[in-house]
Amino acid sequence: MLKLLNKKLRNKGGFTLTELIVVVAILGILVAVAVPTVIGYIDDAKESADLSNAKTLENAIARLMAKGTIQRDSGEISTDDATIISEILKEINPIPECQRDGYSFVLDKATAKVTAEKDFTETEGYLILEN
């Protein structure tokens, strides 16, 4: 009995190099498939956060217009940009930043709508909302 036990203990073996290479290759394939999926989820989450924050800013502007703090003449917001920013900061401090790179929250003064825009440069009739 003791001889049989000693023989089994001496004959224990590990994984061969081929088996280890196959396992590493399978893990590599799994990672290659999973990473793009996770990155897609992260991008979707950032877009959803930007849409939510834009709506929050839009609601704050609507409250300020209802109070008369932000004025509209002929349908367009007529209050100066610095006052708009300072009044929004009283409602929401700090003003949220876009989660996606290169995007900014932009107020369209004609419609009082806030959107997240990429590389926005237009100035006439628009206001980039930032702290």
pLDDT digits (tens, 9 = 90+) for 46-91: 999 999 999 999 999 999 988 888 888 877 888 888 888 888 898 8
Contact between residue 106 and residue 129 where contact means Cβ atoms under 8 Å apart: yes
Domain range for residue 38?
18-129
Residues 5-46: pLDDT tens digits? 666 666 667 888 999 999 999 999 999 988 888 888 999 999
Q: Does residue 47 lie within any of the structural domains?
A: yes
**Domain count of the chain?**
1
Q: Is residue 45 part of a domain?
A: yes
Let me know if residue 111 belongs to a domain.
yes
Q: What is the pLDDT of residue 114?
A: 92
Specify the pTM: 0.70
Is 5 part of a structural domain of the chain? no
Per-residue pLDDT, 8: 63
Is 7 a domain residue? no
Give me the DSSP letters along 7-54.
HHHHT-----HHHHHHHHHHHHHHHHHHHHHHHHHHHHHHHHHHHHHH
